[in-house]
A and B are shown apart, each in its own frame.
Chain A
């Protein structure tokens, strides 16, 4: 464990080496796997999202974040997309600007210098990171209740906004999540922007007018009864600019949904990248890539549009990974309180909801989930789940709601047989969290989690997983031949004897978040891999033999034969 973070831990909790507490039944309860060290990692850093009492729906999503190596020094930096208030927007005043924080190398951060300053926008929401101009560094797309913005990274030396000429149009829409991926396999990253609804304070009642009720309580209005906005798809031109291809690519559902999250995945293993979009209170979409960058919504036929009851859920965050070990990605959706989080397990011709048998259903019912990640957080060789929670209504603390505004973030540990047991993520207690992303912030091989509150301090959950002979790991970064340098869309299979682990390279983080373009494998007692099989985005296959673990492995694509 890193010494500086140990010091931070002491400051945060007043103790070290905790071995757990004794429960009421006399059994020893292990300490949480994570420690919340936001006050030390990002001292004084807060975000804003409207009024604390949440009079309008635009005030409840919180901001966004991107984790990635923006300055090219090998560690994971953090971009925060901050919000504003409705009053400021109505006065024509800018919101809080997005900010880059550079990793000192130990999981603590410092504000980046002036060269990295991004001008303030209208009311920030989410972001996606990727090398959109093919120059070898991480650029940014920022969603807002406003215009979608493009910010280029100038060779790891600073940011330059090019929104005006980026080809994304000038329409004021409410973009939530975005994903960068190579839809048409032309080696340039394309862009999907998920939109929520048409928000206009002149057309929607403010909370307090008695117009909208939830469990008998007066709450902000929406999304039901409001007008959803269609999502958008743009083809990347390779130089930071885009052209809209929403209609041309068939990326238009029969009815728009209240879009909140987006995930890239190759669900049918046909080598191209598909998209999954989570919608609030409307059916979710699975956009199957037809191989040429056009799409068809197959969510219903594949069993991922509604829950097992045939009900549309109020879906928020998305995670994708191969939980059931069949080589295909499974999907985890976080949902509104009163609904369970949904695990859609892959099968040969689609998915089947397996939330409850997996233990992910029941415990999530009272909670309202947002950001979620599937990864091997305890390094025991199987995939666990992190979900951060928090209600949209401060009024959830009123009588009779069966829930609360602030809720525990959760770790669902896999018992190795595909059944998950929930536990608090940390000892931080209930929080009102929204977007989250996971990455190895302190370089110790396990995945830490950054989560934004609806407002206030940014939360950094340091992973304190024990390391050793039964807790091996491997981080794999790819360097592809072409402009899609980070190989977004590549698939990696790790092999040790009869065991395999698979992962996809993506930066899409589900809900208003972006994660590093790398694969993380928790390997348990496997101390060496027989091979890594890499399926590159251009269709080439490559095998790396006899792979040492407990390190960051960077694989460069072989030259074409």
Chain B
């Protein structure tokens, strides 16, 4: 993997929705806050927890000018610190604490290795450790000052720490270096909004939407800004665009209801409010589970609960991502594959369902339950050939 690609992939982590995710930061109960047995502590867990206790400000410095001429395009993968590559492997598995442990090891062996500093900043941001994220990005910029275009994560961190003036200034620096960065532009809009520059925020959000008309979160923010400008009719239209793009997003319904209220359309406002309330409950549960899984990525039941919650609100993209993780964690597990097919059925995601059905056929070749489920799946899809085949396999497998 080329470093540029790696950075691009990392940048996606600090993408649009992250800024809006400043909901409750209260503790997340593992099992509803009820009495539970203490988890078994393994050596690996010790290493991960030890890494989470480290302070990026204490990382060793490189020799002066060590990274002065750093050009990621000139680095070959075989030249990278091994631990950095292992961090990527852990990241692919979704194990953020393990990835952080490897990144620290990489930075211990190759002080201030820029991609590791950057990635550590991204992961800290993901874990809502905004101060540590800021430290990492600032050190990254200190060693490679020419790469300011990579550092919208620093502005995101400043914003999340409540320093909106500093965030705005840094977004402007990022945009000067990388004018095409839509997420930086969106961040700039939000910083302006927080600082009371509502008109400036509206102009920036309009530019975001000109470049990316399908940006649901930007539509929702535009609706909010329009509400502040006492333009409820325009706010309603923007909120409806957000809702149509991501109907599972509570915020779209929230702003829509507020706009309808301001327009005096109480019955419609009430209906939007009801939808908001329902989605908001799921959203709270989803955030709770996501926060938990960031520290305990292997908790199968929690991820299964997350899939169920995301399926309930119809967020197919997130369902697919987490189903893929579940299936990867339990290769050959027929019950999980039946669950995957059930979820695809519930969400009406036929494309993903086809893949899940093929996977179930492979994993459940000798399973009565698998073929029974597949027979139903194909019947509903009116695929007679596959339905008959699955029915036959079910009957054969059922015989003693």
* Chain A 104-149 residues near chain B, CB threshold 8 A: none
Query: How long is the Cα–Cα vector from A178 to B54 in the complex, in angstroms?
Result: 44
Residues in A whose Cβ lies below 8 Å from that of B228: 352
Given contacts A365-B161, A399-B54, A402-B130, contact A338 B25 (CB under 8 A): yes
Residues in A whose Cβ lies below 8 Å from that of B130: 402
Q: Is the interface of B mostly helix, strand, loop or mixed?
A: helix
Q: Contact between A309 and B251 (Cβ–Cβ < 8 Å)? A: yes
Residues in B whose Cβ lies below 8 Å from that of A309: 20, 22-23, 251
Q: Interface code B50-90, partner A: CB below 8 Å = 1, 0 otherwise?
A: 00111100000000000000000000000000000000000
Q: Contact between A224 and B288 (Cβ–Cβ < 8 Å)? A: yes
Query: How long is the Cα–Cα vector from A349 to B164 in the complex, in angstroms?
Result: 29
Cβ 8 A contact of A314, one of B26, B36, B97, B276: B26
Contact segment of A9-17, A21-29, A299-307: A299-307
Q: Is B1 an interface residue (CB 8 A)?
A: no
Query: How long is the Cα–Cα vector from A224 to B128 in the complex, in angstroms?
Result: 18
Interface size class of B (residues with CB under 8 A): 35 or more
Residues in B whose Cβ lies below 8 Å from that of A300: 257, 273
Q: Contact between B33 and A221 (Cβ–Cβ < 8 Å)? A: yes
Q: Contact between B161 and A310 (Cβ–Cβ < 8 Å)? A: no
Q: Is A499 an interface residue (CB 8 A)?
A: no
Residues in A whose Cβ lies below 8 Å from that of B97: 216
Q: Contact between A400 and B20 (Cβ–Cβ < 8 Å)? A: no
Expressed in whole angstroms, the minimum distance between the Cβ of B243 and any Cβ of chain A is 12
Query: How long is the Cα–Cα vector from A300 to B163 in the complex, in angstroms?
Result: 28
Residues in A whose Cβ lies below 8 Å from that of B261: 301, 303, 349-350
Q: Contact between B23 and A400 (Cβ–Cβ < 8 Å)? A: no
Query: How long is the Cα–Cα vector from A311 to B255 in the complex, in angstroms?
Result: 11
Expressed in whole angstroms, the minimum distance between the Cβ of A418 and any Cβ of chain B is 10
Total of A-B residue pairs, C-beta within 8 Å? 169
Query: How long is the Cα–Cα vector from A42 to B295 in the complex, in angstroms?
Result: 45
Given contacts A225-B33, A352-B228, A362-B164, contact A214 B28 (CB under 8 A): yes
Residues in B whose Cβ lies below 8 Å from that of A51: none
Q: Contact between B24 and A212 (Cβ–Cβ < 8 Å)? A: no
Q: Interface code B272-296, partner A: CB below 8 Å = 1, 0 otherwise?
A: 0100100010001000100010010
Q: Contact between B38 and A362 (Cβ–Cβ < 8 Å)? A: no
Q: Contact between B30 and A349 (Cβ–Cβ < 8 Å)? A: no
Expressed in whole angstroms, the minimum distance between the Cβ of B197 and any Cβ of chain A is 9
**Residue on A nearest B197 in the bound complex, by CB:** A357
Most buried by B among A204, A310, A350: A310
**Residue on A nearest B134 in the bound complex, by CB:** A402
Query: How long is the Cα–Cα vector from A214 to B29 in the complex, in angstroms?
Result: 9
Residues in A whose Cβ lies below 8 Å from that of B292: 213
Query: How long is the Cα–Cα vector from A393 to B25 in the complex, in angstroms?
Result: 12
Given contacts A356-B194, A402-B130, contact A211 B26 (CB under 8 A): no
Query: How long is the Cα–Cα vector from A312 to B132 in the complex, in angstroms?
Result: 26
Residues in B whose Cβ lies below 8 Å from that of A281: 24, 26
**Residue on A nearest B31 in the bound complex, by CB:** A211
Q: Is B35 an interface residue (CB 8 A)?
A: yes
* Chain A 216-236 residues near chain B, CB threshold 8 A: 216, 219-226
Given contacts A356-B194, A399-B53, A400-B124, contact A210 B38 (CB under 8 A): yes
Expressed in whole angstroms, the minimum distance between the Cβ of A300 and any Cβ of chain B is 6
**Residue on A nearest B128 in the bound complex, by CB:** A215
Query: How long is the Cα–Cα vector from A282 to B234 in the complex, in angstroms?
Result: 30
Cβ 8 A contact of A223, one of B26, B37, B198: B26
Q: Contact between A216 and B127 (Cβ–Cβ < 8 Å)? A: yes
Q: Interface code A301-333, partner B: CB below 8 Å = 1, 0 otherwise?
A: 101001011111110000000000000000000
Q: Contact between A210 and B162 (Cβ–Cβ < 8 Å)? A: no
Q: Is A548 an interface residue (CB 8 A)?
A: no
**Residue on B nearest A356 in the bound complex, by CB:** B194
Given contacts A216-B52, A300-B257, contact A356 B33 (CB under 8 A): no
Q: Is A336 an interface residue (CB 8 A)?
A: yes
Expressed in whole angstroms, the minimum distance between the Cβ of A296 and any Cβ of chain B is 13
Residues in A whose Cβ lies below 8 Å from that of B38: 209-210
Q: Contact between A210 and B131 (Cβ–Cβ < 8 Å)? A: no
Cβ 8 A contact of A310, one of B24, B36, B162, B251: B251
Q: Contact between A214 and B27 (Cβ–Cβ < 8 Å)? A: yes
Q: Interface code B3-30, partner A: CB below 8 Å = 1, 0 otherwise?
A: 0000000000000000010111111111
Q: Contact between B258 and A303 (Cβ–Cβ < 8 Å)? A: yes
Most buried by B among A222, A226, A280, A356: A356
Residues in A whose Cβ lies below 8 Å from that of B162: 340, 361-366
Q: Contact between A212 and B29 (Cβ–Cβ < 8 Å)? A: yes
Q: Is A245 an interface residue (CB 8 A)?
A: no
Expressed in whole angstroms, the minimum distance between the Cβ of B134 and any Cβ of chain A is 9
Q: Is B400 an interface residue (CB 8 A)?
A: no
Q: Is A82 an interface residue (CB 8 A)?
A: no
Residues in A whose Cβ lies below 8 Å from that of B295: 213, 216
Query: How long is the Cα–Cα vector from A204 to B30 in the complex, in angstroms?
Result: 12
Query: How long is the Cα–Cα vector from A357 to B20 in the complex, in angstroms?
Result: 18
* Chain A 268-316 residues near chain B, CB threshold 8 A: 280-281, 300-301, 303, 306, 308-314
Query: How long is the Cα–Cα vector from A310 to B22 in the complex, in angstroms?
Result: 11
Query: How long is the Cα–Cα vector from A158 to B311 in the complex, in angstroms?
Result: 62
Q: Contact between A214 and B276 (Cβ–Cβ < 8 Å)? A: no
Expressed in whole angstroms, the minimum distance between the Cβ of A103 and any Cβ of chain B is 38
Query: How long is the Cα–Cα vector from A375 to B280 in the complex, in angstroms?
Result: 35
Q: Contact between A400 and B28 (Cβ–Cβ < 8 Å)? A: no
Q: Is A205 an interface residue (CB 8 A)?
A: yes
- Which residues from chain A sit less than 8 Å from chain B, CB to CB? 203-205, 209-216, 219-226, 280-281, 300-301, 303, 306, 308-314, 336-340, 349-350, 352, 356-357, 361-366, 393, 398-402
- Which residues from chain B sit less than 8 Å from chain A, CB to CB? 20, 22-39, 49, 52-55, 97, 124, 127-132, 160-165, 193-196, 198, 224, 227-228, 250-251, 253-255, 257-258, 261-262, 266, 269, 273, 276, 280, 284, 288, 292, 295
Contacts A204-B35, A210-B30 supplied; 17 other A-B pairs, CB < 8 Å? A210-B38, A212-B33, A214-B26, A214-B28, A216-B97, A222-B33, A224-B24, A280-B26, A300-B257, A309-B251, A310-B255, A311-B24, A312-B23, A314-B26, A356-B193, A399-B55, A402-B128
Instruction: Identify 16 residue pairs between A and B in the complex whose beta-carbon atoms are under 8 Å apart, listed by A's number.
Output: A203-B34, A210-B36, A211-B35, A213-B28, A215-B25, A220-B27, A281-B26, A300-B257, A301-B266, A310-B250, A310-B253, A311-B24, A339-B23, A356-B164, A357-B195, A402-B131
